[in-house]
Homo-oligomer: A and B are copies of this chain.
Amino acid sequence: MQIINNKIEGSAYVIGPYKNPVANVKSGEIFQIQTLDAFGNKVDSSTSDITKLIQMPFVNPLVGPIYIEGAQKGDSLAVTIISIETSRDYGVSAIIPEFGGLCATPLTRTLNEPLPPKVMIHPIKDNSITFSTDLNIPPIPYEPFYGTIGTSPELEAISSLSPGSHGGNMDAADVCPGNTIILPVNVDGGFLYIGDGHAAQGDAEICGVATEIPTTGTLKVDLVKQLSLTNPRVESDEFIMTIGSARPMEDAARIAFYELIMWLESDYGIEKLVAYQLCSQVARVRLANMVDTLYSVVAKFPKKYLPNKI
């Protein structure tokens, strides 16, 4: 099995067409990636302020681009995540003074003083995360996923911190083992990038940082010819899902629901205004992140209410 090993020196900090591929993968091939955590594995219990450790824009290092053989503009990649294991016995979380959902940031600027910095180390053992040994908080289950997964735009190179129609830093917990993420292809080879392993994360990732881990991930990419997507899709056993990333948050939700309704119409024959009304009765929503440059919202349709595919 091919193993794509990320190191700091080969990491990608933008998702774009300008970096040489780090590996070639065939449609259907199972392969492994080794990812650094969002802070380049630099944080340990001695770190007090993460902003002093990282040097923008060199944060959230990704594995990639991975060249998918045969992929061409107008196709899609169906990335199935088989497993995600952590290669460290702790996760890292933090308060970063001008980053997060409940503080002033460079995008939502105010004159208030920034929050104080703070780092927390969360031990991980036997699929269980210890939030704090001081506080009496029961253990949190290890439920890993990739915060960042995306394919290159045709001309743009987008920060690894940004989500968008190309996928990217969506911080959607549905990008997890057992699920398949479907992404648009805009350049030859698709140029897939992955990173930002999370051992656990709440909806919204409210403080801006999950339980950040380096990982070994096992994946498979299936090339879907001539499926032209405008935004990412996800499939699980339980749901078909679409992800919208935008600001304000209602625009992210609008994109996600629009894509879901169009999918229900094109693949399941439910006329779009009926699908709109049906979603109003049974859809589910995950607020994936409200901390990144764009917010990400997942619209979910329960498979149990799907009619047969047309």
- A interface residues, Cβ below 8 angstroms from B: 13-14, 16, 18, 57, 93-95, 100-104, 106-116, 118, 120, 122, 129, 131-132, 135-138, 140, 153-159, 200-211, 230, 244, 246-251, 253-255, 257-258, 261, 270, 272-274, 276-287, 290, 295, 297, 299, 304-305, 307-308
Known A-B contacts A277-B118, A279-B202, A281-B201; A16 and B113 likewise in contact (beta carbons under 8 Å)? no
Known A-B contacts A135-B270, A308-B136; A207 and B277 likewise in contact (beta carbons under 8 Å)? yes
Contacts of A154 in B (CB 8 A): 57
Count chain B CB atoms within 10 A of each CB in A13, A140, A244 and give the residue with the most.
A140
- Would you call B137 and A93 a contact (CB within 8 A)? no
9 CB < 8 A contacts A-B: A95-B273, A101-B257, A103-B110, A103-B112, A115-B273, A200-B281, A204-B285, A206-B280, A206-B283
- Would you call A156 and B57 a contact (CB within 8 A)? yes
Q: How far is the CA of A183 from the CA of B201 in the complex (A)?
A: 30
- Would you call B155 and A14 a contact (CB within 8 A)? yes
Contacts of A305 in B (CB 8 A): 131, 137-138, 140
Count chain B CB atoms within 10 A of each CB in A109, A122, A251 and give the residue with the most.
A109
Q: How far is the CA of A138 from the CA of B297 in the complex (A)?
A: 26
Contacts of A132 in B (CB 8 A): 274
- Would you call B248 and A280 a contact (CB within 8 A)? no
Q: How far is the CA of A164 from the CA of B65 in the complex (A)?
A: 26
Known A-B contacts A247-B248, A282-B200; A206 and B276 likewise in contact (beta carbons under 8 Å)? yes
CB distance from A65 to the nearest CB of B (A): 14
Contacts of A304 in B (CB 8 A): 138
Count chain B CB atoms within 10 A of each CB in A111, A287, A307, A308 and give the residue with the most.
A111
- Would you call B102 and A111 a contact (CB within 8 A)? yes
- Would you call A250 and B249 a contact (CB within 8 A)? yes
Count chain B CB atoms within 10 A of each CB in A13, A108, A116, A230 and give the residue with the most.
A108
With beta carbons under 8 angstroms apart, the residue of B258, B285, B290, B299 that contacts A110 is B258
- Would you call A248 and B250 a contact (CB within 8 A)? yes
